[in-house]
Structure 1
Amino acid sequence: MNSDKKILIIEDDELMVKILKFILNKEGYQLSVIKDGLSAVEQIHSINPDMVITDLLLPYKSGLEVIRFVKENFEKIPIIVLSALGEEEHSVSEVFKLGADDFIAKPFNPNELVLRVKRLLNH
């Protein structure tokens, strides 16, 4: 099982957090949830996650700022961006330029999310 793998979810939408928790808990991952970008940047060191899943539109610091911070300080941590295409003026290419490892458009297929999480955590 994946119980030794920790995933930090950075998402301010309660329903999305519930969906992600349901999907990823079922797979056995340990989850931490932070609802804004600033807290995520402040707490990531103490959480020490194996992966970050983040939205782009976040309070206090954007998902792009979070990606930049994580890649500058913890470059080995894979990042999956979950975002509704079109709600963010930054293109998908910007997300990848900053170092994100994957981009999944909302709404997403739960099985696809699980496969992408496993692929990034197991290589």
Structure 2
Amino acid sequence: MNLSKKIVLAEDNSILSKLLQFKLEKEGYQLLIATNGKEAVNLIEDNRPDMILTDIMMPFISGLEVISHVRNKLEMKTPIVVFSSAGQEEMVLNAFNLGANDFMSKPFSPNELVIRIKRLLQ
């Protein structure tokens, strides 16, 4: 199925991380979880994932810095989906300008995320 597809999830909310891990692994994806932006960058550099899911607001390195690092330093074209709480329109626009492929406002449906992931990985 999707077992060869690796996804890095950068999310500092452990409850949301566990929920998404359960849902995405059930769909057959291999999930690598980072609890902050620094861990995310390390996982991305070490594993070259097929997709990156990142929250914008994270400890140490923000999701925006993760996107910038992936696009500019690593020069990867990996699809990136960004999460953010409502009311952060400027950050969302910055994320798209830096190279994010999609955006989901928190709270969001894990089922909708799965559909977006499948669409981006086609």
Decide whether the 8 Å contact of 2:50 with 2:121 is kept in 1. yes
TM-score by length of 2: 0.92
Extract unaligned runs of 5+ from structure 2.
none
Counting only pairs closer than 5 Å after superposition, residues 29-48 of structure 1 correspond to structure 2 as 29-48=29-48
Count of residue correspondences: 121
Measured against aligned partners, the alpha-carbon deviations of 1:5-63 in whole angstroms (never above 9, x if no partner) come to 00000011100101111110111000000111122223322121100000011100111
Residue identity opposite 2:76 in structure 1: E
Letter in 1 for 2:43: Q
Q: Indicate yes or no: 2:116 matched with 1:80.
A: no
1:54 counterpart residue number: 54
Gaps of at least 5 residues in structure 1 are: none
Percent identity of paired positions between Structure 1 and Structure 2: 50
| 1: CA distance, partners of 2:77 / 2:102 | 14
What secondary structure sits across from 1:9 in the alignment? strand
Classify the secondary structure of the residue corresponding to 1:20.
helix
Alignment-derived partner of residue 106 in structure 1: 106
1:62-77 correspondence to structure 2 within 5 Å: 62-72=62-72, 73-77=74-78
Q: Secondary structure at the match of 1:2?
A: coil
Deviation readout 1:103-122 (Å, 9 max, x if unpaired): 00111122211110001111
The answer on whether the counterparts of 2:84 and 2:92 sit within 8 Å (CA) in structure 1 is no
Q: Residues of 2 paired with 1:10 and 1:24: CA distance?
A: 14
TM-score (norm: length of structure 1):
0.92
- Please give the root-mean-square deviation of Cα atoms over the aligned residues, in Å: 1.3
Q: 1:26 maps to what in 2?
A: 26
